[in-house]
Amino acid sequence: MSNDRLAELAAAGVSIWLDDLSRQRLNSGNLAELIRDKHVVGVTSNPTIFAKALQNAEDYDAQVRELATRGASVEDTIREVTVADVQQACDLFRDVWEATDGVDGRVSLEVDPTLARDTEATVAQAVDLWKAVDRPNLLVKIPATEPGLPAVTQALAEGVSVNVTLIFSVERYRAVMGAYLEGLERAAANGHQLTPLVSVASFFVSRVDSEIDKRLEAIGTDEALGLRGRAGVANSRLAYAAFQEVFAGPRWAALAARGARPQRPLWASTGVKNPDYPDTLYVTELVVADTVNTMPEATLDAVADHGETNGDRVTGSGAEAQQVFDRLAEIGVDLTDVFLVLEDEGVDKFEKSWGELTDTVRGQLEAAK
């Protein structure tokens, strides 16, 4: 039955990606099993995932000892370790990448999150990671901060496929799509073929509910409490309506005629944080073609066990979703502030994880010496 439920989700046009990567998954064969048995066709990583992976993980010991012997710095060690994991994952997904003509079989590696406010440094590292991994199915993750948007455009212009992450508002998502289109136009002007360039836009879901629910509970009225758990899905459905609009316009048509691919929405942060909500909420309520859902393994298992795919749950739902946001604004939820807080917290969280990763690697290098 687990295969049947996941097969139904995939057949509905949702690409199932795993939101986790570690050398233990690679070496144990776990990731290969998920590809074979659970329809996983891609994987995403971030600083938090790598920080967790390197803590108490014997799989990295030999490489860290070798790097310590060479006198590698903490920064160089992080780079070599993460690049090695991503290369191995890219190779594992190579058959999927070929079978889907480059749409799936993708592995994401994020730039240093401490660069999130620095456009030029982000571009430089994105190009550097692209060259270091040297795999056509890589996606370099760049945050959708205001300085990150021109970095997305420039990276694409340099021929780098991009996963744009930390998107919370539809307004920012529209800016991301604009950055993607401009990047394709510049790439074409630079002589790059457009078909190999692939991008996804990682639109975060559960964190929106977590922040808005907190504010609704502070308001405390029956109407406010009745809106809990509705904003994340509604926000994503509005994002998909924006996606349909942008990728049906004349600017896109001109790029599509040159072989460009649309930038698919990727539903991120789909693990349910409130135990009162169904544990498959951010998967089953966002089923629609031409999307990616990147899930932690617990969510993947929940969908496999009892997730119900009841057709397209998104197309045509924009008006109803907008009503949710109209009601939120009417009862006093400052939505502009919500999205600013979420972006700042997202960047801060990844910066903290990067610090934890740095401390872990520094300790491992010292122990190896």
Catalytic residues: 141
Query: How far apart are alpha carbons 234 and 325 in whole angstroms?
Result: 8
Residue with tokens 């949702």: 14
Query: How far apart are alpha carbons 261 and 199 in whole angstroms?
Result: 8
Query: How far apart are alpha carbons 167 and 173 in whole angstroms?
Result: 6
Convert the chain into a string of H (helix), E (strand) and C (coil). CHHHHHHHHHHCCEEEEECCCCHHHHHHCHHHHHHHHCCEEEECCCHHHHHHHHCCCHHHHHHHHHHHHCCCCHHHHHHHHHHHHHHHHHHHCHHHHHHCCCCCCEEEEECCHHHCCCHHHHHHHHHHHHHHHCCCCEEEEEECCCCHHHHHHHHHHCCCCEEEEEECCHHHHHHHHHHHHHHHHHHHHCCCCCCCCCEEEEEECHHHHHHHHHHHHHHCCHHHHHCCCCHHHHHHHHHHHHHHHHCCCHHHHHHHCCCCCCCEEEEECCCCCCCCCCCCHHHHCCCCCCEEEEECHHHHHHHHHHCCCCCCCCCCCHHHHHHHHHHHHHCCCCHHHHHHHHHHHHHHHHHHHHHHHHHHHHHHHHHHC
Dihedral sign for Cα 246, 247, 249, 253, please. positive
Tokens representing residue 62 in the block: 């030999």
Q: By CB neighbour count within 10 A (0-12 exposed, 13-18 middle, 19+ buried), where does 210 fall?
A: middle
Tokens representing residue 113 in the block: 């999150």
Is residue 96 a contact partner of residue 73, using CB atoms and an 8 Å limit? no
